[in-house]
Structure 1
Amino acid sequence: MASFEIYGGNRLSGEIIPQGAKNEALQVICATILTSEKVTISNIPDIRDVNKLIELLQLLGVIVTRETAGSYSFQANQVDMSKLNTPEFVQQATSLRGSIMLVGPLLTRFGIATIPHPGGDKIGRRRTDTHYIGFQKLGAEISYDPEKTEVTAPSGGLQGAYILLDEASVTGTANLVMAAVLAKGKTTLFNAACEPYLFQLCTMLNNMGAHISGVGSNLLTIEGVAHLSGCEHRILPDIIEIGSFIGLAAMTRSDITIKNVAKEHLGITPDIFERMGISLVFQDDDIYIPTQDHYRIQRFMDGSIMTVADAPWPGFTPDLISVALVVATQAKGSVLIHQKMFESRLFFVDKLIDMGAQIILCDPHRAVVIGLNHEQPLRATRMTSPDIRAGVALLIAALSAEGKSIIDNIEQIDRGYQSIDKRLQQLGADIRRID
């Protein structure tokens, strides 16, 4: 088990380039199974979750070739479905939440898919009913037991259908889109997730020969086709990393430029950080965050306390709630953080309270943060990363705190952030990886 040793309280400066989007990478890599032709994907982040998914595809017989740094080709012309029940596949798939998105492509192309119950962050219940209800509406049969789920297509293949999703699930939408592109007839997905990851997935599938309309909206219409071809695709920069670096700059009172952010896909994210008092300057496709000794949280027009809450896109992504919360600890003013979508995601705040943050945890979903306005620095301490996003929030807190902090279980952070210690060192951070 590795840890980060951090000496905080230093101001940082320089430029940093965000990695490719983790959540998009998991979707588009699964989509390569839909064709026997070669698909080349660039800007793939070198992180644990993505690398595990690539290994899963290789276990199934997909030919994976590293073309250049961050660029891979995938050719699924020799998929061995018998591998789905091997101990190696089960072990790998169980440790990765994104493995569930293999079901749609395998089901629609090969008529059957077996997947163990996926792993991932322990942030409360993360049900998968939306996926399987959708598969059933496409004609599939579901066989569930405590160890795994088997999904089987009818003898004539999946049939298009009208599907009203019970929640705007990102992975659920992706799974059903991938299943529908090779189904017979028309599929309509209403209440579909419309995050940039889905925009990118649908764009890639259309470039492969799929017929998807309504891309970027919550109403997708998919006309099934007989087969898909290969293509080339480039992954967007990771909006979660971009938000994390904005929070890092504010907490450490640093002068940082985030390069190549694809600002047309950032949605409301910059607005939320500006409401928290952080100055952002857009320079072409870069974001410049100047040094701020103080930043003031805005209030609503009627003078009431600001609320930062997550919501399906185009709302504020739940993956940045942890970062918004830690940023608020050194703001001037107070804010209510409302994490609606996951019931255990705020339980890391006890570590921030130990560091001197003024936080009232109202219930599993809400916390009131009373900003210290950089008048009282956080205290260095030893802590453990509970999940990816809380882990990077604690990392930001440690970089702002005076003295030496240790963060254990950094494998969680490595699941979502590529070589984060080395990249922060280039900004002047005093951070090192230790055993």
Structure 2
Amino acid sequence: MGTFQIEGGHQLKGSIQPQGAKNEALQILCAVLLTPEKVVIDNIPDIVDVNKLINILSNLGVKIQKLGKGKYSFKSDALQLEYLESEQFKKEGGGLRGSIMIVGPLLARFGKGYIPRPGGDKIGRRRLDTHFEGMIKLGAKFRYNKEERFYGVEAPEGLKGTFMLLDEASVTGTANIVMAAVMAEGETTIYNAACEPYLQQLCKMLNKMGAKISGIGSNMLKIEGVKALNGCEHSVLPDMIEIGSWIGLAAMTKSEITIKNVSWEDLGLIPATFRKLGITVEKRGDDIFIPAHTEGYEIETFIDGSFMTISDAPWPGFTPDLLSIVLVVATQAKGEVLIHQKMFESRLFFVDKLIDMGAKIILCDPHRATVIGHNFKSTLKATTMTSPDIRAGISLLIAALSAKGTSTIHNIEQIDRGYENIDERLRAIGAKIIRTA
């Protein structure tokens, strides 16, 4: 189990380039299964979860060639579908939640798809009903082997377009259904579809491949089925969660940091939400400049004077993946804020570690925490902790970088699942961080 040793309390300075978006890359990589032609993808992040999916695709028979840093070509012209029912796949697919999104493309192209119950962060219930209910509405038959925890969908006579109203705006569920529907007979309408930038990117890529998808960016997608798809080239967006992480890091460490090439038009409410915490987020071209907050930052109140509530919501609402960052940043703000994590009931459970560091946090229930900021009058204390998931892990790392003394974070593999070479990149802007085995 890997460990970070962090000497906190130092100001950082410099620029940092966000990696390619993890959540987009997982969708885009699954889409290469829809065509036998070559697909070239650029800006793929070198992180554990993405590399696991690339390995699964390789074992499935996809011909993969690395063309440069973050750039690969994929050719799915001779797939070995028997791998899907192997013990090897049960182990590999079960260790990665993103593997669920290979089912839609395989169902569309070959009339069948299988997946072991996928893994991922332990942040509460993350059901898969939306994925499979959508495929059933397209005409697939569903089966589940309870003993082996193995899912399957089959449509030997092909899929047929239909209207469906999703019970939740699931990002991965929408992506899976879209990839299944692009080659279904007739027209498919997906209402209450997710509309995150990463889902928009998937739809734009599929249209470049010859799909006919309209309504991109809205919660109603219309898909006219086509017989086959072609190859294409695609570039992954910068990771908005990493961008938010660097904003929070700059504020907590009173550092002057420039975040390069952030694709401002795809950030939604992220800059505005950090501004509610009193953080200066300055647009410079397509970069974000965060000045050193040497005098601290003050949380805004609502117009009626009541204290601020920040909550997550489906896009274009604030992403749940950044609530952990907002929470840790609020521990050193002036003022109070209520953090309301609506989507996952276990995501706030890491706050006990921040309380041990001296943060003033009241965990109201599994979904809500009230944070009373120190206004830097009292610093967080260094401690030893274990990363429970990706987003809590990066939040604890930010806390450790702001704390006086040397902190230890165990189980950093969780952080590596979502952040590329994070220790090297942080050292480049002055962080005192060492990775040990």
TM-score, structure 1 normalization: 0.99
Per-residue deviation, 1:238? 0.1
> Equivalent residue for 1:329?
331
Alpha-carbon distance, 1:83 to partner: 0.5
Aligned residue number for residue 252 of structure 1? 253
What is the aligned partner in structure 2 of residue 104 from structure 1? 104
Partner of 1:24: 24
Partner of 1:314: 316
Q: Which residue of 1 aligns with 2:136?
A: 136
Other structure's SS at 1:321 match? helix
Partner of 2:230: 229
Aligned to 1:243: 244
1:285 maps to which residue? 286
Per-residue CA distance 1:320-379 (angstroms, 9 max, x = gap): 000000000000000000000000000000000000000000000000000000110000
Are 2:111 and 2:157, in contact at CA under 8 Å, matched by a contact in 1?
A: no
Rounded to whole Å, the distance in 2 between the matches of 1:264 and 1:171 is 22
Equivalent runs, 1:168-207 vs 2, <5 Å? 168-207=169-208
Aligned pairs, how many?
Answer: 434
- Whether the 8 Å contact between 2:268 and 2:316 is mirrored in structure 1 is yes
Corresponding letter in the other structure for 1:4? F
The answer (yes or no) to whether the contact 2:336–2:371 under 8 Å persists in 1 is yes
State whether structure 2 residue 72 is matched by structure 1 residue 72. Answer: yes
**Which residue does 1:410 correspond to in 2?**
412
From 382, 385, 405, give the equivalent of 2:387: 385
Which amino acid in structure 2 is aligned with residue 152 of structure 1?
E
Q: Name 1:116's counterpart in structure 2.
A: 116
Cα distance in structure 2, aligned partners of 1:292 and 1:115: 48
Instruction: Give the aligned residue type for 1:109.
Output: R
Report what 1:425 is aligned to. Answer: 427
Q: 1:59 and 2:53 equivalent? A: no
Q: Name the amino acid aligned to 1:381.
A: T
3-state DSSP of counterpart to 2:261: coil
Residue matched to 2:46? 46
Indicate the residue corresponding to 2:4 in structure 1: 4
Deviation at 1:145, TM superposition (A): 2.1
- Which residues of 2 match residues 363-382 of structure 1 at below 5 A? 363-382=365-384
| Letter of the 1:370 counterpart | I
Q: Distance in 1 between matches of 2:32 and 2:62?
A: 9
2:300 is equivalent to residue 298 of structure 1: yes
SS state at 1:248 partner: helix
Structural mapping, 1:268-279, within 5 Å: 268-279=269-280
State the Cα distance separating 1:37 from its structure 2 match.
0.1
Identity among equivalent positions (%) equals: 65
1:156 to partner: Cα distance: 2.5
Deviation per CA, 1:273-305: give whole Å up to 9, x if none: 000000011000000000012100000000001
Mapped to 1, the partners of 2:310 and 2:239 lie a distance apart of 21
| Aligned-partner residue type, residue 110 of structure 2 | F
Which of structure 1's runs of 4+ aligned residues deviate more than 4 A?
A: none
Aligned residue for 2:5, secondary structure, equals strand
Distance 1:402 1:156 in 2: 64
Query: Aligned-pair distance for 1:90?
Result: 1.2
Q: What is the CA deviation profile of residues 112-170 of structure 1, one whole-angstrom value per residue up to 9, with x for unaligned ones?
A: 111100000000000000001101100000001221011001x3200001010000000
Tell whether the 8 Å contact from 2:32 to 2:39 is kept in structure 1 after alignment.
yes
**SS where residue 174 of structure 1 aligns?**
helix
State the alpha-carbon separation in 2 of the partners of residues 82 and 359 from structure 1: 51
Q: In 2, distance between residues paired with 1:427 and 1:306?
A: 32
Query: 2:352 aligns to what?
Result: 350
Cα shift readout 1:378-429 (whole Å, capped 9, x = no counterpart): 0000000000000000000000000000000000000000000000000100
Provide the rounded CA distance (Å) in 2 between the counterparts of 1:180 and 1:135: 8
Q: How far apart are 1:88 and its partner, in Å?
A: 1.5
**SS class of match (1:368):** strand
Return the alpha-carbon distance in structure 2 between the equivalents of residues 40 and 18 of structure 1.
Answer: 21
Report the residue type matching 2:13 in the other structure: S
Classify the secondary structure of the residue corresponding to 1:337.
strand
1:379 is matched by which residue type in structure 2? K
Q: Match of 1:424, SS?
A: helix
Deviation at 1:174, TM superposition (A): 0.1
Query: What is the CA RMSD across the aligned residues, in angstroms?
Result: 0.5
Q: CA deviation at 1:89?
A: 1.2
Distance 2:64 2:185 in 1: 29
Letter of the structure 1 residue corresponding to residue 346 of structure 2: S
Letter in 2 for 1:123: I
Match of 1:165 in 2: 166
Q: How far apart, CA to CA, are the structure 2 residues paired with 1:233 and 1:61? A: 21
3-state SS in 1 of match to 2:407: strand
Cα distance in 2, alignment partners of residues 163 and 296 from structure 1: 45
Q: Which amino acid aligns with 2:262?
A: V
User: In 2, Cα distance between the equivalents of 1:350 and 1:145?
Assistant: 38
Distance 2:29 2:353 in 1: 36
Q: Distance in 1 between matches of 2:312 and 2:376?
A: 26
Aligned to 1:395: 397
Please give the secondary structure, in 1, of the residue aligned with 2:265.
helix
Partner-residue secondary structure (3-state), 1:135: helix
Aligned equivalents of 1:64 and 1:377: distance in 2?
A: 49
Matches of 1:148 and 1:89, distance apart in 2: 11
The one-letter code of the counterpart of 2:375 is N
